[in-house]
Amino acid sequence: MNQSLSGLQQRFLAIATDSNLSPKQKSNFLALEVEATIPYMTITKYGAEGSRTRTTFLGAEAAKNTGILGRSPRVVSHEMSPTYVK
């Protein structure tokens, strides 16, 4: 039966039937799996139509000129406990 399931369905089934997880853990893990399948919204078409990605003109101009929207997100925990290389 498991061979007829897609990869995503198999991951869901593995979480749901894992005897080491509590019901709360199963719920959380299933929610994370579902959230990971949601695609990012493409905003390029809105920019072409004249919409801004930021609420002010300066913010939109800064986002366009700096490429900040293409950067990877910062990890706050790394900033709170920095490591120094010698």
Q: For residues 40 and 69, is the Cβ–Cβ distance under 8 A?
A: no
pLDDT in tens, 18-43: 999 999 999 999 999 888 888 877 77
Which has the higher per-residue pLDDT, 83 or 51?
A: 51
H helices of 17-86, in order, are 23-36, 44-48, 57-66, 76-80
Range of the domain at 59: 39-68
Together in a domain, 7 and 28: yes
Q: Are 63 and 54 in contact (CB under 8 A)?
A: yes
Whether the pLDDT of residue 5 is over 60: the answer is yes
Residue 84 within a domain: no
In a domain, 79, yes or no: no
Do 11 and 27 have their domain in common? yes
Predicted TM-score of the model (pTM): 0.46
